[in-house]
């Protein structure tokens, strides 16, 4: 049901029955490397192109999520997902293999939580009993599409971010055990006129703050309600900007632990990733891997994941457009057996 101005409260508390996280070699070398389900040692994963490798990762993530959820592929009713590539081809081609009714979405790097929110809405409303949300990204495909040919090896400024090579998926249902999705806040497009494609953090941070403040307003909550709040992929530059903007708005984030997936996934001192991680796979792999494991262990009871996206394309950049930002928030709680 609608709560406040732009949020949904899920009364039936859809259960996250199973999740999966599949990553590439750089992510496997980061501080969370041993908490992902699959770590590939080769960015091509045995495929003959990076685009096919990205699709392959998503297929693996979907298969693993179903296995962890103990849901046969034939019982999956809907799939919601998207990615960064033109016409969201990684998801479209992966779902071609899966042969399940498909809702393709695009929220740039915010796609993970956009998909989880929509999948939760489908389950909560009774329009589907077993729904998957998934997304993926690949460093080499994103660099090639949005910046320079990967083989060119161009230098990047410290504000640039490193697209995560990874895929994540979650299976939701009404019955079973696991963390539950209690609510979501759908973000607005926020554009402060940033035009530098090598400074995505600055472009996305205002949207993250806008969605966070909307979430607290709509649900009547303070940040301390959650054990952990993570933004998706602001990395060091965007994270610092977000902290400043939240302080200006009087939002006391010291009540909780506030972190960013783009800072968590890499060792920023040892790995050459500039400001940190980004990409659809950033918040997806961190949430569906390490964070879900922590919830199942009881280390975390309530988390808020705010995935952020930069809504640009090569065409819009070439035409001198600014970079709008978007952020979607999903509230997840540690749950017991739901609905019998």
Q: What is the pLDDT of residues 227-267, one digit of tens each?
A: 999 999 999 999 999 999 999 999 999 999 999 999 999 99
86 and 68 assigned to the same domain = yes
Q: How far apart are CA 280 and CA 282, in angstroms?
A: 6
111 and 223 assigned to the same domain = no
In this prediction the pTM is 0.95
pLDDT at residue 337, as a whole number: 46
- Domain residue limits at 327: 179-334
Last residue of one domain, picked from the residues 138, 154, 173: 173
* 219 in a structural domain: yes
Tell me if 178 sits within 8 A of 18, measured CB to CB: yes
pLDDT at residue 210, as a whole number: 98
Q: Which residues of the chain have pLDDT under 70?
A: 147-155, 336-340
Last residue of one domain, picked from the residues 173, 206, 231: 173
Q: How far apart are CA 191 and CA 202, in angstroms?
A: 10
pLDDT at residue 209, as a whole number: 98
Residue 99: count of CB within 10 angstroms of its CB: 11
143 and 241 assigned to the same domain = no
* 339 in a structural domain: no
* 28 in a structural domain: yes
pLDDT at residue 317, as a whole number: 78
192 and 323 assigned to the same domain = yes
Last residue of one domain, picked from the residues 146, 173, 200: 173
* Terminal C-alpha separation, the chain: 22
* 69 in a structural domain: yes
112 and 221 assigned to the same domain = no
Q: Phi and psi at residue 60, in whole multiples of 5°? A: -65, -45
61-78 b/e (C-beta count within 10 Å ≥ 16 → b): bbbbbbebbebeeeebbb
């Amino acid at each position: 049901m609608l709560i406040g101005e732009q949020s949904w409260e899920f009364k039936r508390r859809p259960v996250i029955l199973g999740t999966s996280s599949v990553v590439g070699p750089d992510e496997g070398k980061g501080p969370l490397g041993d908490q992902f389900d699959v770590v590939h040692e080769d960015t091509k994963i045995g495929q003959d192109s990076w685009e096919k490798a990205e699709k392959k990762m998503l297929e693996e993530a979907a298969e693993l999520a179903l296995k962890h959820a103990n849901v046969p592929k034939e019982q999956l009713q809907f799939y919601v997902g998207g990615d960064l590539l033109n016409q969201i081809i990684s998801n479209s081609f992966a779902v071609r293999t899966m042969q399940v009714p498909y809702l393709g979405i695009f929220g740039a790097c915010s796609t993970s939580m956009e998909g989880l929110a929509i999948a939760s809405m489908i389950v909560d409303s009774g329009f589907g009993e077993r729904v998957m949300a998934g997304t993926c990204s690949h460093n080499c495909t994103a660099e090639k599409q949005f910046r320079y040919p990967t083989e060119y090896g161009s230098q990047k400024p410290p504000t640039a971010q490193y697209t995560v090579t990874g895929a994540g998926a979650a299976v939701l249902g009404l019955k079973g055990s696991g963390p539950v999705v209690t609510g979501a806040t759908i973000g607005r497009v926020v554009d402060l006129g940033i035009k530098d494609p090598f400074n995505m953090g600055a472009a996305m941070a205002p949207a993250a703050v806008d969605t966070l403040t909307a979430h607290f307003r709509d649900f009547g909550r303070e940040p301390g309600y959650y054990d952990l709040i993570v933004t998706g992929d602001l990395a060091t530059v965007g994270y610092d900007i977000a902290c400043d903007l939240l302080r200006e708005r009087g939002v006391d984030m010291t009540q909780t632990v506030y972190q960013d997936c783009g800072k968590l996934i890499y060792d920023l001192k040892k790995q050459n990733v500039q400001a940190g991680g980004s990409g659809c796979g950033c918040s997806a792999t961190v949430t569906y891997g390490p964070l879900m494991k922590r919830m199942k262990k009881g280390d975390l009871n309530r988390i808020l994941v705010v995935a952020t996206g930069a809504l640009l394309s090569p065409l819009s950049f070439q035409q001198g457009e600014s970079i709008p930002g978007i952020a979607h928030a999903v509230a997840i709680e540690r749950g017991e057996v739901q609905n019998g």
